[in-house]
Structure 1
């Protein structure tokens, strides 16, 4: 009688890699006719259906590009479904300010992003665009142009603060780099 050999897969350290077992593994192929790629991207066959197609990445992207979540619904049903979806996800939108990232590439602070929003600029705006936008907006609400208008004066002060924040950040970036 042959002595049973101990497997290399016991204990620590593992003497063989984690994906290197010798048993055959089942690989599901893409459900697209004629495709021989691995089908690891599930896609629903119909709205609210548990049945799934399994496509390769290429065919999943093709399938999803044509997918209409509201297909087959009339206008009132579409609006009702969209409204319920917004209500269900409202908590996520409300808590979005807790996220690690916001718009932009991460190189700007939250104060800088608020200043850019006030000047109606994109997150990647350079200092020349900031200066131009500030001057255009400041000309409209300057106290010399609108004397005695408290709202215009408050808006002008907001623009000044926004410009200062962005100017200081630009100087800091130049100094560091």
Structure 2
């Protein structure tokens, strides 16, 4: 729970203790807790593929983690869409929210939040970014671990 990790690819973890509580981590072949988290990533599907996840063990239950992406200039001619894969499996699963910054404003929950166990498989999620066409935006994933250690969620 106390291992800080600023950058995860093009995305950046928020500062622990200030904006959030814990960090998203990079993993390859299953989280350390049984009955939660993915066994492998979605993209490669093998032990070499990577994904990011929240570890709920070690006192990291009911903790929030913010992962913010780079600035993106959305096109005006073609509606943009955010598509990502998620894995929210575990009897104590928490919540995954997707937020967006546009014109200095934070828009919470640009899609319905994923709450609770979604099954032991990668699920694809998509949300239209058409309301922000032509604007510069930043996507933020906001994960909240559940009330038990069996709530490791992942993104790919």
TM-score normalised by the chain length of structure 1: 0.20
Structure with greater helix percent? 1
Larger radius of gyration: 1
Higher relative CO (Cα under 8 Å, sequence separation at least 6) belongs to: 2
TM-score normalised by the chain length of structure 2: 0.22
Structure with greater strand percent? 2
